[in-house]
Amino acid sequence: MSDEHGPEPARNESEQSEVHRGLSRRGFLASAAAAGGAYFLGRFGPASAQTPTISEDDIVVPDDPTKTLGMSLSQRGLRSPFVHVQRQINDPNAPLGAAGWTFSPLQDLEGTITPADLHFERHHSGVAMIDPAEHRLVVHGMVQQPKQYTLWDLERMPQESHIYFVECSGNSLAGYPGGDADSTAQSIHGLVSTSEWVGVPMRHIVEDVGLDPASTWALFEGSDAAVMTRSVPVEKLMEDALIALYQNGEPIRPAQGYPMRLILPGWEGNMQIKWLRRIEFGDAPFYTKEETRHYTDRLPDGRSRQFTYAMEAKSVITRPSPGQGLAGAGRWTISGIAWSGRGRIERVEVSTDGGSTWEDAALLGESRTRSTVRFHHPWEWDGEEAMLMSRATDDTGYVQPTREALLEVRGPDYTYHYNGIQSWRLHPDGTLSNGYVDA
């Protein structure tokens, strides 16, 4: 790929009319009107010239849907007004652009794919909004031919499709201090989401720039206000790293790093640089802030663990779970997800008696490497108090540890990579609460 890039594909033209720089949409329309409306509308004109897009306010639920004409067609779909799924914002009052995160509503989801608008978010300086026409990915350092790529350059390279989870290494950290009784699957474990990612394998970029054989590490840098940087071993780049352009069938969303983000299958979310703008090859780690001051952990003997990449095998029961209780005794399906950053989930066991006895759960669909798999387990509830747990085993033979075993090794100063077994206490009234509250 050269510094030259051809004209943008025609399909982007209609979207250009919606783009406005440094102005709110209202401000943009006002200034466009003042200029005599002389702005480019694109081939199909503005969205308002078409069938209106239906909003929540337009929804009417008739008494008898067979006696009432249905709603109009719409350009973008809506969820049923009877389905309430939303991300949980860690601090809704945080100032604009502040570091923050939102949790995926695990207790409301089934299967494995996370709808893109419910993918968890973790931003260190808010969501960067990037015009792909202005964006370049620069690749330099220990390479034979430094290059820069536009989104359209990458579009022309060979691509692959893979289903992988992304998990923040801070996911489930409520497990260390014990959490609160009113914690939910979402608020404890919702910093994990799974998507189909389509993009250019990093090994093609490496081949394109001609790597210096002495290079062993690369720095990845984002173009958000945090300018987030992380070092990644070249070995991982050649194995399965992807520059993702698409997520679940559409261009990745701004919150996930539009127009391009790094996917490092199975490794901690922090390394998977969003809004990717620069890759620098070197022969040692770059020791960035995110891998020295942050994303390291102190062990009981005073030493620190650094470069803790792979997310270990974990599982969580999502139904029943707090907020998703049982209406009464009888037959139910226990449902949950399991995943491992080291390989494929081979087995999930379920206990309903606090870990005294375990039974194998059924894995639904294909269990893929570095992806989530859904498990179901039919269960007859006698209406008595019960303690529900799940335990994952991956194809390396690694078994998800109990909370006690994990705390024993990690000590009191640990924050990241919590993967202990989650227990949910099922009360006789059918409600559930976090089973490991310390207080």
Ligand X SMILES: Nc1nc2c(c(=O)[nH]1)N[C@H]1C(S)=C(S)[C@@H](COP(=O)(O)O)O[C@H]1N2
Q: Write out the residues near ligand X by the rule CB under 6 A.
A: 119-124, 166, 168, 222, 224, 226, 228, 255-256, 269-270, 272-275
For 19, the 3-state DSSP assignment is coil
Residue 341 near Mo ion by CB under 5 A: no
Residue 122 near Mo ion by CB under 5 A: yes
121-129, 214-222, 271-279, 377-385 -> range binding Mo ion (CB under 5 A):
121-129
Amino acid letter, 375: F
Instruction: Tell me how far, at minimum, the Cβ of 225 lies from ligand X, in Å.
Output: 9
The partner in contact with residue 226, picked from ligand X, Mo ion, none with C-beta cut-offs of 5 to 8 angstroms by kind, is ligand X
Residue 274 near Mo ion by CB under 5 A: no
Of residues 113 and 226, the one with the C-beta less far from ligand X: 226
The partner in contact with residue 386, picked from Mo ion, ligand X, none with C-beta cut-offs of 5 to 8 angstroms by kind, is none
The partner in contact with residue 275, picked from ligand X, Mo ion, none with C-beta cut-offs of 5 to 8 angstroms by kind, is ligand X
Strand runs labelled E in 70-155? 88-89, 100-103, 121-123, 137-141, 147-149
Is beta strand 304-305 parallel, antiparallel or unpaired with respect to 297-298? antiparallel
- Angle at the Cα of 262 (from 97 to 223), degrees rounded to 5? 40
Nearest to 151, CA basis, from 199, 195, 203: 199
The partner in contact with residue 291, picked from Mo ion, ligand X, none with C-beta cut-offs of 5 to 8 angstroms by kind, is none
Residue 273 near Mo ion by CB under 5 A: no
Instruction: Tell me how far, at minimum, the Cβ of 89 lies from Mo ion, in Å.
Output: 16
Of residues 120 and 164, the one with the C-beta less far from ligand X: 120
For 217, the 3-state DSSP assignment is strand
Contact 164, 417 (CB under 8 A): no
Options 168, 334, 337, 373; binder of Mo ion; rule CB under 5 A: 168
Contact 336, 315 (CB under 8 A): yes
Contact 374, 363 (CB under 8 A): yes
Binding mask 345-384 for Mo ion (x = CB under 5 A): ----------------------------------------
Of residues 169 and 351, the one with the C-beta less far from Mo ion: 169
Of residues 122 and 319, the one with the C-beta less far from Mo ion: 122
Hey, how many other C-beta atoms are within 10 angstroms of the C-beta on 6?
A: 9
Options 270, 324, 371, 393; binder of Mo ion; rule CB under 5 A: 270
CA–CA gap between residue 136 and residue 158 (Å, rounded) = 18
Residue 258, both tokens: 């539009």
Of residues 120 and 217, the one with the C-beta less far from Mo ion: 120
Using a 10 angstrom Cβ sphere, with 0-12 exposed, 13-18 middle and 19 or more buried, the burial of residue 40 is: exposed
Is beta strand 147-149 parallel, antiparallel or unpaired with respect to 137-141? antiparallel
Of residues 120 and 436, the one with the C-beta less far from ligand X: 120
Task: Give the residue carrying structure tokens 């260190």.
Answer: 124
Longest CA–CA separation in the chain, Å: 75
117-125, 129-137, 207-215, 402-410 -> range binding Mo ion (CB under 5 A):
117-125
The footprint of Mo ion (CB under 5 A) covers 122, 168, 269-270
